[in-house]
Amino acid sequence: MAENYFKKFPNLEGYFGEYGGAFIPPDLEKEMKRISEAYFSISKSHNFISELRSIRKHYQGRPTPVYFCNRLSEKYGGRIYLKREDLNHTGAHKLNHCMGEALLAKHLGKKKLIAETGAGQHGVALATAAAYFGLECEIHMGEVDMEKEHPNVVRMEILGAKVVPVKHGLRTLKEAVDSAFGAYLEDPITTLYCIGSVVGPHPFPMMVRDFQRVVGIEAKEQFFDMTGELPDKVVACVGGGSNAMGIFSSFLDDDECELYGVEPAGLSIDKIGEHAATMTHGKPGVIHGFKCYLLQDDKGEPAPVYSVASGLDYPGVGPEHSMLKDLKKVKYDYINDSETIDAFFELSRLEGIIPALESAHAVAYAIKLAKGNPQKSILVNLSGRGDKDIDFVVDKFGLPEK
C-alpha cells in the first residue's frame, strides 16, 4: 500500500482527501503549476537524485543516528529511542527540505529564495542552502520572534541572508508568512518561495513531505537493525507538520505502529490565543492558500496562537495531517508549556542532549506514554537541538534543582 498511498495522496490538484488544494490568485496559480510540473520531472531525474543524495551524505551529515535513551527509559519505563535530527547540519530537520527546494530552484534557473521563519530554524536552514548554491536569500520574520530567537537572526545575517522584520499583528509566524507571500507575489519569475513546512498551496505540502521522507526511511531501517522489530509507537511534534510527516510516512502502512502527533497546548488548552492545538480545537478552513484544520476566531479568521516553542505557533496545519486525523491513522494530542520545560531539562540532564523546545513537546509526550506503557518501544523524532532556546529558557524559567 505504501507506494499506492504516495501515488494517491495528494491527487493531481493537490488534495489530501478534502484538504490541501491551491486557493491562490490566478498569476500565482500559473507559477505553482510550473513549479509542480518541473518538480515532477526534475525530481525523478538521475542528476537531481544523485546530487541530493550526495549533499545529504557529504554536506548534511546524513544518515543521522537513532539513539536508545538508557537513563530516560530507566526512569520512566518503556524503551525510548530518538531519531537524531538535531545532529543534521544547522541543528534541525529543516535542512532536509531546504536543500531540496534550493536544488529545485537551481534547476529552475531561479536567482533568489524567499521564505518566512518562526523560530528562525527555517530561515537559517534556507540561508545555509542559499549560500551553498550561491543564491540570494530574503527571510521574513516577526519582530517578537526576532527578539526571542536573536542568535538565529545573527546566523542568517552571517550566512548572507537579508532578514525582513514583520511589524504587524502579533508579529509572529502567521504574519511572517503573509509578508513573505506578498514579497514573492511581486516577483515569482526569478524567485522561488520556499515554504518552511508541509503547508501552503500545492505543490508545497507534497514537495516538503517528499524531501522529509528521508527521515522515516532511515529511522525505520535503523530501528529494525537495532531491535529486530518495528517501534510500537512513533511520536513527533506538529507545528506545520514537516518533521512529523517525515517520520510518519514510513510507518503509515504498519498498523501495529501507533503514530502520535503532538501539538502545543501552550498556557491553556481551553483559551483561544493561549495555545496552538489546531487538531484539537480547529475546524476546516482556508489559510495561506490551502485547506486544513484551522484555529479560527468568532469571525472565521485565523485565531491568534501561542506556544513557548516559536516553531509550533501556527493556526493551521498540513493538509495531509488533516486527512490523517480524519482517517484516524494518527492520534493528535497536546503537551503544555510547563510539561515541555520539564522535558527540556529531563533530556538534558539524563541523556546530555538539549532538545529544541519544539522537540521537547514530543519528548514530554513520550515520557507520558512510557509511564503508561512500560513494555512498549517509543521512537521520537528529535526534530532539533536546543541551543537556540537556552538563554530564553533559563531567563524565563530558571534552572531546576538538582
Rounded to a whole number of angstroms, the minimum distance from the CB of residue 310 to ligand PLP is: 8
Task: By CB under 6 A, name the one of 145, 258, 358, 389 that touches ligand PLP.
Answer: 358
Residues facing 20 on adjacent strands: 15, 291
Alpha carbon distance 328, 320 (integer Å):
12
* Contact call for residue 363 and ligand PLP (CB under 6 A): no
Task: By CB under 6 A, name the one of 159, 359, 363, 389 that touches ligand PLP.
Answer: 359
* Contact call for residue 94 and ligand PLP (CB under 6 A): yes
Rounded to a whole number of angstroms, the minimum distance from the CB of residue 50 to ligand PLP is: 27
- Span from 2-10, 26-34, 183-191, 240-248 in contact with ligand PLP (CB under 6 A): 240-248
Asked if residues 61 and 44 have their Cβ atoms less than 8 Å apart, the reply is: no
If the CB atoms of residues 188 and 303 are measured against ligand PLP, the closer one turns out to be: 303
* Contact call for residue 92 and ligand PLP (CB under 6 A): yes
Rounded to a whole number of angstroms, the minimum distance from the CB of residue 292 to ligand PLP is: 13
φ, ψ dihedrals at 84, nearest 5°: -85, 70
Contacts with ligand PLP, 103-132, as mask; x by CB under 6 A: ----------------x-xx----------
If the CB atoms of residues 20 and 188 are measured against ligand PLP, the closer one turns out to be: 20
Burial grade of 207 (CB within 10 A; 0-12, 13-18, 19 or more):
buried
Contacts with ligand PLP, 382-401, as mask; x by CB under 6 A: -xx-----------------
For 272, other C-beta atoms within 10 Å of its C-beta total: 16
State the DSSP H helix or E strand holding residue 186, giving kind and residue range, or none if neither. Answer: helix 173-186
**Best CA proximity match to 38, nearest among 98, 108, 96, 129:** 108
* Contact call for residue 322 and ligand PLP (CB under 6 A): no
Select the residue whose beta carbon is closest to ligand PLP and give its number.
Answer: 384
Residues facing 284 on adjacent strands: 293
φ, ψ dihedrals at 163, nearest 5°: -100, 120
Q: 388 CB contacts (<8 Å, ≥6 apart)?
A: 91, 119, 120, 121, 149, 151, 152, 356
- Span from 149-157, 331-339, 341-349, 354-362 in contact with ligand PLP (CB under 6 A): 354-362
Task: By CB under 6 A, name the one of 238, 257, 259, 335 that touches ligand PLP.
Answer: 238
* Contact call for residue 247 and ligand PLP (CB under 6 A): no
Task: By CB under 6 A, name the one of 21, 311, 315, 319 that touches ligand PLP.
Answer: 311
Asked if residues 368 and 333 have their Cβ atoms less than 8 Å apart, the reply is: no
Rounded to a whole number of angstroms, the minimum distance from the CB of residue 361 to ligand PLP is: 8
Asked if residues 213 and 249 have their Cβ atoms less than 8 Å apart, the reply is: yes
**For residues 208-237, which are near ligand PLP according to CB under 6 A?**
237
Q: 326 CB contacts (<8 Å, ≥6 apart)?
A: 17
For 217-236, b/e burial (b = at least 16 CB within 10 A) is ebbbebbeeeeeebbbbbbb
Which residue is associated with the grid cell 480545537?
Answer: 281
Q: Which one is catalytic: 58, 89, 93, 257?
A: 93
Contacts with ligand PLP, 159-198, as mask; x by CB under 6 A: --------------------------------------x-
Amino acid, res. 373: N
Residues facing 285 on adjacent strands: 292
Task: By CB under 6 A, name the one of 356, 360, 363, 364 that touches ligand PLP.
Answer: 356
Q: Is 93 a catalytic residue?
A: yes
* Contact call for residue 100 and ligand PLP (CB under 6 A): no
List residues with catalytic annotation: 69, 93
Q: Give contact residues for ligand PLP (rule: CB under 6 A).
A: 92, 94, 119, 121-122, 197, 237-244, 311-312, 356, 358-359, 383-384
